[in-house]
Amino acid sequence: MYQFSSKLKISAIALMVIGLIGIIIGFVSAPSTEAEVAEILAHQESHGAHGNTHATKEIAHHDAHAEEASHDAHHEVAKHDAHEAGAHTEGHSDHHLAHVLHQLQNRPWAAFYVALFFFTFVTVVVFAFLNIQRVAQAGWSIVLFRVMEGISGFLPYVSAIFIVFLVITAFHGNHLFVWMADGTVDPTSANYDELIANKSAWLNTPRWLISGIIYLVGWNVFRYLNRKYSLLQDNAGDLVNYYKNYKIGVAFLAFFIFTESMSVWDWIMGLDPHWFSTLFGWYVLATGLVSALTVIAMVTVYLKSKGYLEVVNNSHLHDLAKFMFGFSIFWSYLWFAQFMLIWYADMPEETVYFVQRFDDYKLLFLGMIPLNFILPVLLLVNSDFKRIPQIVLGVGTIILVGHYIDVFVMIMPGTVGDQWGFGITEIASILFFLGLFIYAVFTTLSKAPLIAKGNPFLHESEHFHY
Amino acid sequence: MSTNKVIHALYNDDDVLMDAVKTVKEANHHIEEVFTPFPVHGLDKLLGLPHTRLAICAFIYGLLGLSFAIWMTNYMMIENWPQDIGGKPSFSWIVNMPAFVPIMFELTVFFAAHLMVITFYMRSRLWPFKEAENPDPRTTDDIFLMEIPVHNNEEELTALLNTTNAVEIKVIEKH
């Protein structure tokens, strides 16, 4: 049995407290009036021409909204017009202030949301990976099942926070999702947006909220059942619970492959409602898979360094690292497949997504590629390196940082535009969820033996040798 | 006493063979060669064979393929017959690079795979019409064969091999 050491528990609680304080600071310090925004923008302007280019872009934005045609197609055109005119009228700058106010008010929400989504998604994908192992009746990974179950134990905590977040968002507690604004589907409204109106069969708040809750509750029900039968199997004389878990795994994977895509459309792609990508669900799944395998490997290495999991040998670590390596390439493939088709076709309504990321997030957007592709490939390509815990931890850290940036660059442009930063709230959100993660995962781990001894393939796993 | 004498011990199961290799190694005898119908997992480690360097070759061949693809796309699509790629007539390799990534990927794989196979054949001294080197044709079917050189210890070796569940043990004069 694993003992949750009081030192680790205190660190986890400290992380949560520090994180919570940082998040509250972020919300309190967000500007509440346009006067404050004007001051902030004046400050930015004194640091260079940043504010100026920003203003022209925003005018373009609103011009395009006013016209009922494709916002994105007009984006570039309007931008040039604004440049040529070289003048900002009073009405425009008022409009602009209101827009920046919304973006700055969104920032603490978005910072919190990036961390919330990242941790929730990684946790549910760890659970999905556990079920893939069950359904495939894999032999090598049985000694890691309790680690995966422990990480899945984080799911109820984040899901509860996520549902509260969804309800607040649906009731206009924040403005992260522009399509939720009043009047976007009303042709008589100044806010009317034809593209959003055309998608309103899917993009409407009641549907969004209800399905969001269904995804999360569904995942949690499967996790609860899986854990229950896994524990019952430990002391069972027959394999009834084992077969039940097999069937639950099949049902979960069928449920998950649909809800994963749909949740990603709802929670991420909906932030840029004019844009769409048909492989977006896969792309985010790849981010989740590589991060999930990294988290499993890291928790395993930690437990092993504390003297637990005696039967886990370096072949198990090697195979986890091999998955990290493989899924890094899979992510790069999907990232590039999405980028190249849009780059090749060069249609304004599709390129807008990448134009915004190249303009305002260039360092992060391009910096992801060495972090998520080149470094993992070069560092993990060697079979011997995959067995060294320090290298797995090091590359794992690179991968987690890289994929956190990936999620950051997915969420931030649609919510805060170029008003992004990496300050107290962004860091505090990570610390808060990291603390909660440590607390929840190691509490779950301490509640059951670290080896699922009732599993019929346990012997094969103990002697697994690559 | 000829030093060309070898013992052939034949086995019909890979697990039995592995145990036999362990036994012979523990008795400090040198194993010249093992012939198996399929690759036996872990046998190379047991025999103390050095790790293959083919992977390093593969990496270098991959880099060679990548370099060749970069040169080739630049020569064909930019220099020799400049192409307007995707409606973006930039005539610059780096700006058109996304279009060349699939070619770079494929040629990396192509070079690594083909050159690695050729290297493997050369290193293993295999070429068309070469006469087989395995001492018993059954090793291509279902029999595992262990070859141990004899140095005035024929009886001792035979006795040892008899304890390892060999299906057949024979002493052979190697030419």
Distance between the two ends of chain A, CA-based, in angstroms? 27
| Structure tokens given for A417 | 């535009």
Amino acid B153: pLDDT: 84
CA A321 to each of CA A229, A310, A390, A396, B135: distance values in angstroms, whole numbers, following the listed order: 29, 19, 12, 9, 41
**Dihedral angle of Cα B80, B85, B91, B97, to the nearest 10 degrees:** -100
Kindly determine whether residue B98 and residue A340, on different chains, have CB atoms separated by under 8 Å: yes
Query: Within chain A, which residues score under 70 in pLDDT?
Result: 47-93
Q: How far is it, in rounded angstroms, from Cα B18 to Cα A104?
A: 68
- In this prediction, residue A53 carries a pLDDT of 46
Q: Which residues contact A50 (CB under 8 A, 6 or more apart)?
A: A44
Q: What is the pLDDT of residue B175?
A: 65
- Contact between residue A464 and residue A316 where contact means Cβ atoms under 8 Å apart: yes
In whole angstroms, what is the distance from residue A227 CA to residue A153 CA?
A: 9
What is the rounded CA–CA span in Å between residue B50 and residue B47? Answer: 9
Q: How confident is the model at residue B143 (pLDDT cuts 50, 70, 90)?
A: very high
Q: What is the pLDDT of residue B17?
A: 92
DSSP of A334-403, one letter per residue?
HHHHHHHHHHHH--HHHHHHHHHHHHH-HHHHHHHHIIIIIHHHHHHSSTTGGG-HHHHHHHHHHHHHHH
Tell me the Cα Rg of chain A: 24
> Which pLDDT score is estimated for A97?
83
Distance CA A183, CA A91 (A): 21
Nearest to A41 by CA among A29, A28, A27, A53: A53
CB contact under 8 A, B99 and A344: yes
**pLDDT tens readout for residues B51-107:** 888 999 999 999 999 999 999 999 999 999 999 988 888 899 999 999 999 999 999
**Separation in Å, CA of B98 to nearest CA in chain A:** 6
Alpha carbons A254 and A260: distance in angstroms, whole number: 10
B42:A465 CB<8 A: yes
- List the single residue in B41, B42, B98 with the smallest CB-CB distance to A339: B98
pLDDT in tens, A111-123: 999 999 999 999 9
* Min Cα–Cα distance to chain A from B156, Å: 33
Which residues from A are below 8 Å from B when comparing CB atoms?
Answer: 336, 339-340, 343-346, 381, 383, 465
Residue contacts between A and B (CB atoms, under 8 Å): 19
Q: Which residues of B touch A336 (CB under 8 A)?
A: 98, 101
Nearest to A346 among B41, B42, B86 (CB): B86
- B157: distance to nearest CA of chain A, Å? 31
Q: Which two three-digit tokens encode residue A410? A: 């997915």
User: What are the tokens at A436?
Assistant: 């909660």
Would you state the pLDDT for residue A419? Answer: 85
CB contact under 8 A, B98 and A344: yes
pLDDT of residue A67: 41
Q: Is the dihedral of CA A324, A325, A327, A331 positive or negative?
A: positive
Closest residue in B to A465 (Cα) is B42
Its pTM stands at 0.85
> How does residue B50 score in pLDDT terms, banded at 50, 70 and 90?
confident
Angle at CA A436, nearest 5°, toward A431 and A438?
Answer: 95
Q: How many CB atoms lie within 10 A of CB A384?
A: 10
